[in-house]
Structure 1
Amino acid sequence: MEKEKQKERKLKRVFLQKKYNLLTTVLVALCVALLSGGGVFWLMDRQVKGLESANQAMGKINTVYNALYYNYYKDVSQQKLVDGALNGMVEALGDPFTEYMNKTESQELNDSISGSFGGIGAQVQKSGSKIKIMAPIAGTPAAKAGLKANDVIVKIDGRSTKDYSLNKAVSLMRGKVGTKVSVTIERNGTTFTKTLTRAKIPVKTVEGKLATNKQIGYIQVTSFSENTAKEFKQTVQSLRKKGAKSFIIDVRNNPGGLMDQALAMSSMFVENGKPILQVVGRDGKPTIYKASNELDDGFKVKEKAIVLINGGSASASEIFAAALKQSGNNVTLIGTKSYGKGTVQNTLPFKDKTELKLTIAKWLTPDGTWIHKKGIKPDVKADYPDVAYLTAIDTTKAYQAGQNSKQIKNLQQMLVFLGYDLDEKSGYFNEQTKQAIEKYQTDNGLIVNGTADKATVESIENKVAQKVTESDNAYQKAVEKLSE
């Protein structure tokens, strides 16, 4: 009984303190206004009303917090309530790119920008109640497993992600290098599960080589991190020494990153003084960024260039592609429509090492276009073969004669793509399908049993991925165009 009275007295003290703070704020503001004249009084009066409204709102939040903390039928941690309140405010915005990050999540974000970490290598976002992949990073477990932009992660290690925050989903997929995590993916109405081995996600974001035509340099940019512009400059210089006279810049499946790096890279291709980007805050006034020596350190790429984009090219990748398309010299975009992320985020760090990542502005292309949720259309449309977009096959099951499913239909199409003779491609596992599986198993040194077991399915998918890479129509069109 005495304990309950103590709680009640404490609650009353909190409420009285809140009223005192509000009254003090109003009185001080009004005194300043009256001493300063009529015009300022009107402005200050608005501020007083704003402060009063804010204090009333915070008072209500404080009341709910104390009611829950002291009166809920079982103990609840202060941190859980605070995190819940913060996440609730953020989620009320309906903006998948604004989020409150705890200490672990904040560290993971910083690692992805400036360091390395163990994970599957997929950039994800919250879309409604769903966890959706923006893009897999090239060369990572996610990319090798065939995960694609717009795939929905419905389960992680067998548990539904329906009520997960974005941060929780990310933290569960990250972990110690070499450990395994299973993800269940929904794509076009079909679900499948992949077990991935976490790997060190590469810090290096730029790779370069000479294309099939030795006078063309091929540069792949996988994300925009702290050293991307520097790495890009070094790669261009290296390829020039090897004989490159023009460049293909591949930002497909590049989920973006730091805006300053996108600006620096864009400036390398744009004449000084020309616009690269417009950023518009809540005041509606655009800040225009223009190419300059300050951005690119005087390093220019004047050779003919082509940029490859696709549905996994987002954010900073789109800034780069749009800048080169609209302000660059003779730059062509080849591929498919980009993702369409036209907002800018910043982080507000706290002393306890948590952070608030919030959308502070929208960005526009040099000509003032907002590509958010629309994407950028390429000048030349070209894509991988259709088989590249088939749903990956669930390897937790084995498929055999007499069965009928969408998974088997995808398997049949993959076998046809690899050159195996199949008339049946409807999803029914008939005798011809069994013979094709047996022949594949024989050709690839697998146990010959006519069943599409895990080892067989993974082998087929790896072969398909390799052949798809060799059938890169966008890359081939870029080489043809630069070879003219």
Structure 2
Amino acid sequence: MKIRLPRLLIASALAICLLLPQIASADGQNSGILNGSDDYIVSIMEMIKERYRFEVTDSELLEGALKGIFGSMDPYTEYMTAAEEESFYESINGGYYGIGISMSKIGDHIKVTKVFESSPAERAGVYAGDIIVSIGGVNTADMAVKDAVELIRGQKGSRVVLGILRGDLRKQEDIELLTGEVSMRLVKHDISDGKGYIKIASFGGAAVDEFIDALKQMEDNGIRDIVLDLRDNSGGYVEAAVAIASKLVPRGLVTRLEFKEGYKENIKYESPLDEVKYKLSVLVNRNTASASEILAGAIQDTGVGRLVGEKTFGKARVQYIVPILTPEAYKKYSDELGVKIVDASKLLWEYGINPAEEEILGSSKITMGVYTTPHGRMIDKVGLKPDVEVSRDLPGSGIDTDSIENLTVTWKPGLNDEGGDIYYAEQILKLLGYDIDEPDSLLDKKTYAAVGEFQKLKGGGPYGFGRLDFTTQKWLNEELNRLRLENDKQYARAVELLKN
């Protein structure tokens, strides 16, 4: 089976600018050590197989050697197996196989904090606020979230049974799900009080189209003032960051990529925009990194917006994905072509050969370049200093307003109804000081009473006190926006700057 051409092109051509967990690196150089190293490495592997007490295959030794070689450079260069590469692209593009939930550790068990739209979890009736007490019969007490994720995902298309507690903690419901493809939106937007809000989670494959859709909503509503939220955005594709920057910054340089002299020509990315339409306040923090810093740096240098929050991470290194041939494929094409090639993409570009899937051992993610801002600033290990520094502290309740979704205003939950809107309504009410239990997805008697009190304060409830009718949901959404201004000091300062 042949590799699909687009995937190989993507792997070999796209620049990746992403903050990832660091890998230990080693210092030092050796001149001329590569001469005759083929036999040396083979001899090392033979010695290990001869003396190592347990079984180890040639493939395992080879992959271990490659991980060591690529891991000896900077923290962002690494060798990836096929499975690791797939997970890597999923982390950027916001799509993966699973059930479509976010989770956090609450007490002894796992709590669902978000259910993604059109996901297997949503179709099966899992709601934000649900407590997962078991996964496939395995109790989640003392289970880490990462272990729960692995247990739930399993194999593509596999079935998993979640033991759920909802509302009345004495009653457990078992929900069976079939894992499938989950697509997450990378860009979310909102409009309130004559201003726009756009949050970019990652510069993945769909980010540009989603951002353009968000801008269209701004234009359709006459919005020119926008809070652009890049907090906790660890990066993605350089091309995506540049494409978005080209919708915001004036004609001229967005960023410059510089490569090793003699290997690759430097690249200048420029914006073609003749008219700047938007006034921006850009939210950044210590986890704003890499491709996010390309966009933030371009906005800051061109003066179309101000950065608000904390100093950014400081990563100006650019990685490319290089598919690596197996030893057998390496020998095959060396014999056929008379050249030594380990980079599978080079076979495609220079010889028009698309290697078979089984001829690819894995891929290397290797730092090939660095980038600078329009003014030539090199921010690696330095970061971008915000124009207005503001720290952020969560309210005493520990509920982060940024994690609360606006109520959908698409249905009218009543007593004992279940759903994600109820979970977010409970979080808003708890932040407002109403006496409710730990937010879940059940409109129980206590939450029903709290909704009634809120409605009385507002002047009534069209369908009787306690029901989450459309008017009440709109009131709660207005309160959520006010709470964001009150509890999110960075967001509040960004909004204030737009008014000046």
Q: One fold, TM greater than 0.5?
A: yes
Task: Give the drift of 1:250.
Answer: 0.9
> Map of 1:363-378 to 2, 5 A cutoff?
363-378=371-386
- Using the TM superposition, give the Cα deviation of residue 210 of structure 1 relative to its aligned residue in structure 2, in angstroms: 0.8
Whether the 8 Å CA contact 1:384–1:474 is kept in 2: the answer is yes
Gaps of 5+ in 1: 1-48, 123-136, 146-155, 161-167, 182-196, 393-416, 421-438, 448-463
On the 8 A contact 1:120/1:174 being kept in 2, the answer is no
Match of 1:283 among 231, 243, 261: 261
What TM-score comes out, normalization by structure 2 length?
0.54
Where do residues 428-443 of structure 1 align in structure 2 (5 Å cutoff)?
Answer: none
Instruction: Give 1 or 2 for the bigger CA radius of gyration.
Output: 1
Change (3 A) 1:179 1:299: farther
* Alignment-derived partner of residue 106 in structure 1: 85
Select the structure with the greater relative contact order (CA < 8 A; seq sep ≥ 6).
Answer: 2
Alignment match, 1:79: 59
CA–CA separation in structure 2 for the residues paired with 1:171 and 1:54: 42
**Match of residue 326, structure 1, among 298, 301, 306:** 301
SS in 2 for 1:320: helix
Structure-1 separation of matches of 2:190 and 2:115:
16
Q: Give 3-state SS (helix, strand or coil) of 1:209's partner.
A: strand
Moved more, 66-75 or 233-242: 66-75
Give the corresponding residue for 1:337.
Answer: 311
Partners of 2:319 and 2:63 lie apart in 1 by 20
Cα offset, 1:307, TM superposition: 1.1
Inter-partner Cα distance in structure 2 for 1:333 and 1:258: 21
Question: Take 1:314 and 1:320, find their aligned partners in 2: how far apart are those partners?
Answer: 10
CA distance in 2, matches of 1:86, 1:356: 9
CA distance in 2, matches of 1:199, 1:380: 43
1:200 shift after superposition: 7.6
User: Which of residues 339, 351, 361 is equivalent to 2:369?
Assistant: 361
The letter of the residue matching 2:254 is I
Residue 235 of structure 2 aligns to a residue whose secondary structure is coil
**Aligned match of 1:204 in 185, 190, 193?**
185
Q: Do the aligned partners of residues 316 and 169 (structure 1) sit closer, same or farther apart at CA in structure 2, a change above 3 Å counting?
A: farther
1:271–1:180 distance in 2 versus 1, CA, 3 Å = farther
Query: Residue 218 of structure 1 aligns with which residue?
Result: 197
CA separation of 1:344 and 1:158: change in aligned 2, threshold 3 A: farther
Taking the aligned partners of 2:223 and 2:399, their CA distance within structure 1 comes to 38
Runs of 4+ in 1 over 4 A off after TM superposition: 119-122, 137-141, 156-160, 168-174, 176-181, 197-202, 298-301, 386-392, 417-420, 439-447, 466-470
Q: Confirm or deny that 1:311 pairs with 2:319.
A: no
Contact 2:484 2:492 in 1 (8 A): no
- SS of the equivalent of 2:248 reads coil
Fraction of identical pairs, as percent: 28
Report the Cα offset of residue 55 of structure 1: 3.3
Bigger helix fraction? 1
Query: Residue 199 and residue 325 in structure 1: after superposition, are their counterparts in 2 closer, same or farther (change >3 A)?
Result: farther
Query: How far apart, CA to CA, are the structure 1 residues paired with 2:58 and 2:255?
Result: 43
Is residue 120–residue 199 contact of structure 1 (8 Å, CA) maintained in 2? no
For residues 116-158 of structure 1, the C-alpha deviation after alignment (integer angstroms, 9 at most, x for no partner) is: 1248779xxxxxxxxxxxxxx99989xx99xxxxxxxxxx997
Instruction: Compute the displacement of 1:283 (Å).
Output: 2.7
Aligned length: 324
2:498 matches 1:482: yes
Deviation at 1:73, TM superposition (A): 3.4
Report SS of the residue matched to 2:236: coil
2:70 to 73, 81, 90: 90
Q: Counterparts of 1:255 and 1:368 in 2: how far apart (Å)?
A: 22
Distance between the aligned counterparts of 1:157 and 1:58, measured in 2?
Answer: 50
1:362-416 per-position Cα deviation (integer Å, ceiling 9, x unaligned): 2222222222222211111223335589899xxxxxxxxxxxxxxxxxxxxxxxx
* Residues 1:348 and 2:329 aligned together: no
Contact 1:120 1:201 in 2 (8 A): no
Shift of 1:234: 1.9
> Among 487, 493, 499, which residue is 1:471 paired with?
487
Partner deviation per Cα, 1:226-256 (whole Å, 9 max, x = no partner): 1212221221112211121221111111111
Structure 2: give runs of 5+ residues left out of the alignment.
1-29, 104-112, 122-127, 130-139, 163-176, 325-358, 401-429, 447-479
